[in-house]
Copies of this chain bind each other. A is one copy, B any other.
Amino acid sequence: MKTLKVPEATITRLSVYSRFLEYLDQRGIVTVSSGEIAQGVGVSPAQVRKDLAYFGEFGTRGVGYNVKDLMRYVLKVLGLDELWPLVLVGAGNLGFALCTYKGFNDRGFSIVGVFDNNPDKIGKKIADLEVYHLDRMAEIIALHNVKVGIITVPSHAAQEVTDLMVKNGLQAILNYAPVVLNAPENIEIRNVDMSTRLEILTFNLSKKDYNPVT
């Protein structure tokens, strides 16, 4: 497993900060302090300063950060100053929802190919995209220089799709199937579990007594 210099929790927060900065920028706000960012997104000011310090010295003491500069820099750090074409395999409900999710386009992501192996789905339209057979994945990946794939197939098919994505040169995979995928070390894989965020809520609601098991 690759080790990152910057913790993933920091990258996740940068993503949140960048949205808050966009929000401020749209409202014509020019400068912001770490305390205001902290309050806006619900973390401590020290955490904001620590996260931003990974990427150098920002801001002017007593004045704060320039909103536009910081926003552009954070987006650049996140790799969002370029466009990311994506392919998605699995034209089911979740695949459909992701293909029509407006939040992707806002962040520079664009699904350029949707694939399935179900003859009933091939040729159907999702938004502006025609669902193709998996046979055409190599062609679409080459055409658009795609590096990232999304898997929304059932668990039993996910490894096969992973192998195909790796064979076709993808470098990163976002996996929505609830299964652990095997891939070469140089392929970045992240799993998305739709229920994890719910479990944080139920943890907080249930607030049982955690009797030490001894």
Chain A residues near B (Cβ < 8 Å)? 1-2, 4, 6, 8-9, 11-12, 14-16, 19, 23, 40, 42, 54-58, 69, 73, 76-80, 82, 84, 86, 93-94, 96-98, 100-101, 103-104, 106-107, 109, 147-148, 171-172, 174, 178, 180, 188, 190, 192-206, 208, 210-214
Contacts and interface: CB of A to CB of B under 8 A. Distances in A.
A148 B6 CA distance: 34
Contacts of A203: 6, 11, 14, 77-79
Give how many copies assemble into the complex: 2
Nearest to A99: B93
B202 A78 contact: yes
A79 B212 contact: no
Contact of A201 (B16, B42, B82, B188): B188
A213 B69 contact: yes
Contact of A199 (B73, B80, B193): B80
Given A56-B212, A172-B201, A193-B15, A206 B103 contact: no
Contacts of A200: 8, 11-12, 15, 190
A198 B174 contact: yes
B194 A98 contact: yes
